[in-house]
Amino acid sequence: MCGIVGYIGPRDATPIILGGLKRLEYRGYDSAGVAVLQEDSIEVRREAGKLANLTESVQKSPLSGQVGIGHTRWATHGAPSQQNAHPHLGQTGKVVVVHNGIVENFLELRDELSAEGVDFKSETDSETIVHLVEHYMASGLDLIEAARATFGHLEGANVVVVMAVDEPDKIVTARLGNAGGVVIGYGDDNEMYAASDIPAILEHTRRVVFLESGQMATITRSGAAYETVDGSKLEISPQTIAWDPVAAEKGEYRHFMEKEIHEQVRALTDTLAGRVDFDEGRIRLPQLNLTEELAQRIQKIYIVACGTAAYAGMVGKYLIESIARIPVEIDIASEFRYRDPIVDENTVVLAISQSGETADTLAAMEEGRSKGAILWSIVNAIGSQAMRVADGFISMQTGPEIGVASTKAFTAPIVDLYMLAILLAELRGELDTAKRRQMVADLRLVPDLVGQVIERESDIEKIAHALKDIKGCLYLGRGINMPIAYEGALKLKEISYIHAEGYPAGEMKHGPIALIDEEMPVICLAPRDPWHEKMISQIQQAKARGGPVVAVATDGDELVADMADHVLWIPETPWMLSPVITVIPLQILAYHIASLRGLDVDQPRNLAKSVTVE
């Protein structure tokens, strides 16, 4: 999770920015930097590693000034290093930028700018932004118009903060899509703040504005001017937020679950962070300690997990078997630990766990260890048991997940499993270069595709109103989206207390179809994937028995739209990554049904965020 802090006012910006970045530390990062405007230059300090390294660098070589921006970075493009750390200076040394998100068209922009003579200093996509702003300022535009022109060039979900020596009275920022938030803070005595999250500025102010996607702000000492990126002026007044850090952490959202659903664009950007070489079309998972020798001798993978994590593992089975051709078995952890599984030194036991402390999952890992398996884990909580005891791990890198109902810690491990499958396939010679490059390139689409579905929330909320009083619900899926039927049902039942059941759609005729009548809505996952035709007939079978059908369908699929009572639309998506997208409307649907029923969405009855007991 990248962190951003900006300040403009009468005080020295440096300690305010460093203090703000410290409050964002828990979100995880791998480098940090700060930039401060001087009379006719910009001072920048950047360090790889922890914030302490930056603080030490600033102590050794102080910088001060009244206008500054700072950043903590999860590397997405380019390794974690000083040269790739933000803030990024342009060639003139008079414009500087910090950035969250992925500039999806950065390769094209980089080529265009290089052809104009720009000499790139870093491997990042972010650096293209500052050179574009400089390019437009050199053509005569002022900072605001140069920034606006630049924002119009960026594809994907991005947050940008930019400032320039020649216009020291302002900081310009924009939120483009859902790559995380931008909070504008109103201080006293002619000072203003910008941040990616409230905790960074909570000690200075409780009066804030949250930028929406497609909005930009020009921040001066006396306040901020708001407009849409395409130039329509906006009148936005600051709101006063709750003082307590927990409420403040929710920011503009009513519940952590709502925030975490929306956070998935940034969380998925971050789970890709430092692992995808888009130029070479390669995956790097250094913490897994996976050698070519080990990859080639693996004969079986057991994925062990509980609840939502197990359903992510079920998707992983399809991905690893399809891409790397290694047999995969999914085991609910509480069963695996007691069934004397067949394991040897060429078997991997791969645990998936958000908390990394789930008792059954840890016990399953222990069972694998006792039988000589190679232990891997995919974990969100840094430093947790499941991360420590494994021979190798993949960190989900989504930042803390507070809501009991898991959302970003479901979609992130699916992306991690997709990356793992590609890496295993490459090391085992199962994937030709062209196919591998295409599969890696598809990853770049994921954050923005998720953002597109999240932006349809109001349509999904309308369907939640239609379903909020149902007594039961069936979720049906096939193939790689069959696990999403289980996950969608779990989301609904655990926060709305409505009985909901996920089922392989092909199983309906073997019994469950008896349940279907006008009182039993059926949610059918029918995206354009290899099982689409099968799901069409499933929808027909449900309709024939009078069941109301809610279909998850790909934009433009009129065949499904004509048959279903409601449609949860998703954009066209590479089918192997479609579960990351098809689950989003089901998360949002469950969230709104539970909210409409007035239930405690973040702390549902009888449930805990981490089940550390048997």
Among 292, 360, 378, which Cα is nearest to 610's?
Answer: 360
Which of 308, 538, 582, 587 contacts ligand AGP by CB under 6 A? 308
Shortest CB 15 distance to ligand AGP, Å: 37
Closer to ligand AGP by CB, 361 or 573: give it.
361
Bridge-partner residues for 503, per DSSP? 476
Among 23, 138, 133, which Cα is nearest to 70's?
Answer: 23
Q: For residue 334, count other CB atoms closer than 10 A to its CB.
A: 18
Which of 355, 395, 578, 587 contacts ligand AGP by CB under 6 A? 355
> 97-116 mask for ligand AGP (x: CB under 6 A)?
--------------------
Asked if 610 is part of the footprint of ligand AGP (rule: CB under 6 A), the reply reads yes
Closer to ligand AGP by CB, 205 or 353: give it.
353
Asked if 361 is part of the footprint of ligand AGP (rule: CB under 6 A), the reply reads yes
Told to judge if 233 belongs to the known catalytic residues of this protein, a careful annotator would answer no
Backbone angles phi, psi at 328, to 5 degrees: -125, 135
Instruction: Look at the alpha carbons of 528, 531, 537, 541 in this order and tell me if their dihedral is positive or negative.
Output: negative
Q: Return the residue nearest ligand AGP (CB atom).
A: 307
Asked if 411 is part of the footprint of ligand AGP (rule: CB under 6 A), the reply reads no
SS3 content of the chain, % helix, strand, coil (to 5): 40, 20, 40
Which of 158, 354, 397, 573 contacts ligand AGP by CB under 6 A? 354
Point out which span in 180-188, 215-223, 403-411, 534-542 binds ligand AGP (CB under 6 A): 403-411
Q: Which two tokens stand for residue 572?
A: 């066209």
Are 84 and 75 a contacting pair, CB within 8 Å?
yes
- At how many degrees (to 10) do helices 51-60 and 13-23 cross? 170
Between strands 171-176 and 158-164, the pairing is antiparallel
Which of 353, 398, 481, 582 contacts ligand AGP by CB under 6 A? 353
Half-sphere exposure of 393 (CA within 13 A, CB side): 23
d(CA 14, CA 4): 13
- How is 567-607 classified by DSSP, letter by letter? EEEE----GGGHHHHHHHHHHHHHHHHHHHTT--SSS-TT-
Asked if 611 is part of the footprint of ligand AGP (rule: CB under 6 A), the reply reads yes
DSSP letter assigned to residue 512: G
Closer to ligand AGP by CB, 228 or 603: give it.
603
Closer to ligand AGP by CB, 196 or 354: give it.
354
Which of 76, 124, 128, 358 contacts ligand AGP by CB under 6 A? 358
Shortest CB 73 distance to ligand AGP, Å: 26
Closer to ligand AGP by CB, 181 or 403: give it.
403
Question: Does residue 371 come out as left (phi exceeding 0), alpha (psi in the -120 to 50 range) or beta?
Answer: alpha
Q: Which two tokens stand for residue 452?
A: 């597109």
Asked if 309 is part of the footprint of ligand AGP (rule: CB under 6 A), the reply reads yes
Q: Which two tokens stand for residue 468?
A: 């909020």
Q: Would you say how long the chain is, in residues?
A: 614
Query: For ligand AGP, how many residues bind (rule: CB under 6 A)?
Result: 15
Among 579, 582, 532, which Cα is nearest to 559's?
Answer: 532
Shortest CB 358 distance to ligand AGP, Å: 3
Q: Which two tokens stand for residue 606?
A: 């009888």
Shortest CB 529 distance to ligand AGP, Å: 24
Closer to ligand AGP by CB, 215 or 308: give it.
308
Shortest CB 610 distance to ligand AGP, Å: 5
Point out which span in 225-233, 352-360, 508-516, 525-533 binds ligand AGP (CB under 6 A): 352-360
Shortest CB 378 distance to ligand AGP, Å: 10
Which of 162, 303, 405, 539 contacts ligand AGP by CB under 6 A? 405
Which amino acid makes up residue 68?
G
CA–CA–CA angle 52, 55, 58 (5° rounding): 150
Which of 307, 341, 451, 488 contacts ligand AGP by CB under 6 A? 307
3-state secondary structure of 168: coil
Closer to ligand AGP by CB, 194 or 257: give it.
257
Q: Which two tokens stand for residue 315?
A: 């998707």
Are 518 and 558 a contacting pair, CB within 8 Å?
no
Shortest CB 391 distance to ligand AGP, Å: 19
Between strands 233-234 and 192-195, the pairing is unpaired
Among 590, 464, 461, 473, which Cα is nearest to 522's?
Answer: 473
Residues from 468 through 507 that contact ligand AGP (CB under 6 A): 494
Asked if 287 is part of the footprint of ligand AGP (rule: CB under 6 A), the reply reads no
Shortest CB 490 distance to ligand AGP, Å: 6
Among 328, 501, 517, which Cα is nearest to 425's?
Answer: 328
Asked if 306 is part of the footprint of ligand AGP (rule: CB under 6 A), the reply reads yes
Closer to ligand AGP by CB, 351 or 564: give it.
351
Closer to ligand AGP by CB, 307 or 574: give it.
307
Asked if 215 is part of the footprint of ligand AGP (rule: CB under 6 A), the reply reads no
Shortest CB 406 distance to ligand AGP, Å: 4
Asked if 83 is part of the footprint of ligand AGP (rule: CB under 6 A), the reply reads no
- How is 406-474 classified by DSSP, letter by letter? -SHHHHHHHHHHHHHHHHHHHHTT-S-HHHHHHHHHHHTTHHHHHHHHHTTHHHHHHHHHHHTT-SEEE
Shortest CB 612 distance to ligand AGP, Å: 9
Residues from 581 through 600 that contact ligand AGP (CB under 6 A): none
Told to judge if 473 belongs to the known catalytic residues of this protein, a careful annotator would answer no
Q: Which two tokens stand for residue 249?
A: 């952490």
Which of 196, 215, 406, 541 contacts ligand AGP by CB under 6 A? 406
Shortest CB 211 distance to ligand AGP, Å: 30
Between strands 328-332 and 300-305, the pairing is parallel
Closer to ligand AGP by CB, 357 or 448: give it.
357
Closer to ligand AGP by CB, 1 or 396: give it.
396
Task: Catalytic residue, from 2, 306, 473, 524: name it.
Answer: 2
Which residue ranges make up the site for ligand AGP (CB under 6 A)? Answer: 306-309, 353-355, 358, 361, 404-406, 494, 610-611
Residues annotated catalytic, as ranges: 2, 609
